[in-house]
C-alpha cells in the first residue's frame, strides 16, 4: 500500500547506509512506549534512534512508494525529519508498529495543526513494503484518528491523495473519510504539480464510522 504524501515540505512527529540485518533487528520499542494499542499494532512517537531501521525500510520500499511518496532514506535526512516532527508544535507523528515483533510497519504524521476555532490537521502516511496488504496500516491509521479526536482534541483531519493512488483512497474509505473535493495542481511532487482529491473526517463522523476488523484487507 503506497500512501498519500505529507502535505507540506517539512512534515512534524515523523539516514547513512543501514544493512538488512539492522532493519530486521532495529531499535525496537515495545508496547510500553505506545500512545495507543490495537489488536495487531501499536502507535508510538518517532525517536532519533529509529534512524537505521526506518531508513533501511524506506530503501527497501522504494518500488512501493514511488511515485507517491519520498520518505527520508539516509540517517541525516531522517534525523532532520524526525526533529521537525518532535519539536514543531504544529506537527505530530507516529510510527505504526507490529505487536508481534515491534517492527515498524509504517508511519503517520499530522501536519499543519491549527487550534482555535479550526481544530484541524492534515495527514500524511505510508506503509513499508513488508507490511503492505496485511491490514496493519488500516488499524494504525484508525488508532491515530481516534487519538487525534480524543487526547489531541482535534475536530477534523484532512488527507490529500493523487487520484491514481487507489490503495491510499481505499484505505481512507475503509475508515469513513468522505470525498470533499478536487484540487488541481495542488502539490509539487516528483518534478511536477499534481492534482489531488481531498478526503476528510470529523470527530462526529468517526463515531459513526465502521470499525474494520483485524483482517481488514489492504491492496498494494
Tens-place pLDDT, residues 27-76:
466 777 899 999 999 999 999 999 999 999 999 999 999 988 899 999 99
* Ranges of the chain with pLDDT below 50: 1-5, 7-27, 217-220
Output the pLDDT for position 212. Answer: 65
Helices first, then strands: H and E counts in the chain: 7, 8
Query: Residue 4, Cα to own-chain centre: how many angstroms?
Result: 8
In angstroms, rounded to a whole number, what is the distance separating the alpha carbons of residues 35 and 7? 23
pLDDT at residue 107, rounded to an integer: 97
CB-CB contact of 96 with 137 (8 Å): yes
**pLDDT at position 97:** 97
Query: In the numeric block, which cell numbers belong to residue 38?
Result: 490495537
Give CA torsion, residues 39, 45, 46, 47, to 10 deg.
-110
Evaluate whether 7 touches 198 at the Cβ level (below 8 Å).
no
The verdict on pTM exceeding 0.85 is no
Residues in the chain: 220
Q: What does the longest C-alpha to C-alpha distance in the chain come to? A: 48
Amino acid at each position: 500500500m503506497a500512501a498519500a504524501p505529507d502535505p507540506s515540505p517539512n512534515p512534524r512527529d515523523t539516514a547513512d547506509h543501514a544493512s538488512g540485518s539492522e532493519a530486521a533487528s532495529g531499535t525496537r520499542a515495545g508496547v510500553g512506549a505506545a500512545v495507543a494499542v490495537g489488536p495487531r499494532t501499536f502507535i508510538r512517537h518517532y525517536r532519533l534512534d529509529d534512524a537505521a531501521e526506518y531508513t533501511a525500510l524506506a530503501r527497501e520500499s522504494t518500488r512501493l512508494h514511488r511515485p507517491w511518496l519520498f520518505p527520508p532514506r539516509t540517517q541525516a535526512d531522517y534525523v532532520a525529519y524526525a526533529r521537525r516532527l518532535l519539536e514543531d508544535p504544529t506537527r505530530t507523528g507516529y510510527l505504526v508498529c507490529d505487536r508481534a515483533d515491534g517492527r515498524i510497519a509504517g508511519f503517520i504524521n499530522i501536519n499543519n495543526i491549527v487550534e482555535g476555532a479550526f481544530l484541524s490537521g492534515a495527514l500524511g502516511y505510508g506503509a513499508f513494503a513488508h507490511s503492505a496488504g496485511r491490514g496493519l496500516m488500516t488499524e494504525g491509521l484508525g488508532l491515530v484518528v481516534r487519538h487525534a479526536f480524543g487526547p489531541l482534541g482535534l475536530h477534523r483531519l484532512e488527507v490529500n491523495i493523487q487520484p491514481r493512488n487507489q490503495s491510499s483512497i481505499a484505505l481512507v474509505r475503509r475508515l469513513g473519510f468522505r470525498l470533499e473535493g478536487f484540487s488541481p495542481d495542488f502539490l509539487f511532487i516528483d518534478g511536477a504539480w499534481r492534482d489531488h482529491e481531498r478526503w476528510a473526517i470529523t470527530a462526529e463522523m468517526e463515531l459513526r464510522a465502521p470499525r474494520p476488523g483485524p483482517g481488514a484487507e489492504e491492496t498494494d
